[in-house]
């Protein structure tokens, strides 16, 4: 567990949104700062401190200063994650909370929104000096609050892993339903819904909506596709229905989101 200090803001050094369009593996290195990695899509296969991690959508991993880390397996094209290098506050006080080194966020959409706000600030989106430090601290507070009872990441049984992987693969299909997922997995629909909510704290349909929302945000912020085409790509046949859905979940219209969070750093190295 990593302590959370709040006497002063954390100090952001740099950050970005990594996206690879080819097979990729993390370089072998040691850095002198903390690094926070937040999975967006695909799987990052990372060895850190002698431990193997698979960072998937909604997963977070903290790397500590002086910890050697490297990729141990190639990630497939489309792998994507947020990364932030940072330092602890000067003259750290008694910790206000703790964050697990590796965990899955139960409300990944909130984390992704804060990560995009942080990137916006880090890359000149705000004229106020030090804004990035405060957005970083807000993101760490969100992680500490979401993960305070998680106890950190643990091995996932094969059947649950298959359920999540299959759902992620088909979440953007127009005809995706809880019933279709249950049929594929050989479960009763109601039983699957109850089991999923007990395990993750939210419904399977909410999980699907979260995947679609993050995909829509990526397309809105990272490209020039029109709203109608984006709607089709995330499973909506009607762009007006998509716009209403997006505003209900994100709190803003698709166009407003694109205008607000379009300034982010994209890298592929």
In this prediction, residues 196-204 reach a mean pLDDT of 79
Query: Three-state SS for 69?
Result: strand
In this prediction, residues 233-245 reach a mean pLDDT of 94
Determine the Cα–Cα distance for residues 226 and 228; give it in Å rounded to an integer: 5
70-106 pLDDT tens trace: 987 888 899 999 999 999 998 667 888 889 999 988 8
Sequence ranges of the domains in the chain: 2-153, 158-262
Provide, rounded to the nearest whole percent, the portion of the chain with pLDDT above 70. Answer: 91
23-71 pLDDT tens trace: 898 999 999 999 999 999 998 988 888 788 889 999 999 999 999 999 8
Return the percent helix, strand and coil in the chain, to nearest 5.
40, 20, 40
Provide, rounded to the nearest whole percent, the portion of the chain with pLDDT above 90. Answer: 48
Mean residue pLDDT of the chain comes to 87
- Residue 15: predicted pLDDT: 93
Fold of the 2-153 domain: Jelly Rolls (2.60.120)
- List all residues 6 or more positions away from 255 whose beta carbon is below 8 Å from its beta carbon: 227
Fold of the 158-262 domain: Arc Repressor Mutant, subunit A (1.10.10)
* CA-based torsion, 147, 150, 152, 156: positive or negative: negative
pTM: 0.60
121-166 pLDDT tens trace: 888 888 888 899 999 999 999 999 988 766 555 444 557 767 888 8
């Amino acid at each position: 567990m990593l302590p959370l200090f709040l006497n002063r803001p954390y100090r952001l050094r740099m950050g970005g949104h990594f996206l690879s369009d080819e097979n990729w593996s993390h370089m072998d290195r040691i850095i002198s700062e903390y690094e926070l990695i937040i999975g967006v899509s695909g799987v990052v296969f990372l060895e850190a401190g002698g431990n193997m991690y698979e960072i998937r959508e909604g997963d977070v991993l903290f790397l500590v200063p002086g910890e050697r880390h490297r990729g141990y397996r190639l990630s497939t094209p489309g792998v994507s994650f947020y990364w932030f290098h940072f330092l602890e506050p000067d003259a750290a006080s008694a910790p206000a909370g703790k964050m697990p080194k590796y965990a899955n966020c139960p409300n990944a959409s909130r984390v992704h929104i804060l990560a995009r706000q942080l990137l916006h600030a880090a890359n000149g989106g705000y004229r106020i000096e030090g804004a990035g430090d405060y957005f970083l601290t807000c993101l760490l507070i969100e992680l500490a609050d979401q993960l305070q009872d998680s106890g950190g990441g643990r091995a996932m049984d094969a059947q649950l892993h298959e359920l999540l992987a299959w759902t992620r693969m088909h979440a953007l299909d127009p005809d995706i339903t809880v019933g279709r997922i249950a049929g594929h997995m050989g479960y009763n629909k109601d039983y699957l819904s109850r089991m999923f909510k007990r395990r993750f704290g939210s419904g399977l349909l909410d999980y699907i909506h979260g995947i679609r929302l993050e995909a829509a945000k990526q397309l809105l912020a990272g490209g020039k596709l029109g709203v109608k085409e984006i709607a089709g790509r995330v499973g909506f046949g009607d762009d007006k229905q998509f716009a209403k859905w997006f505003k209900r979940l994100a709190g803003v219209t698709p166009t407003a989101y694109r205008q607000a969070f379009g300034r982010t750093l994209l890298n592929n190295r």
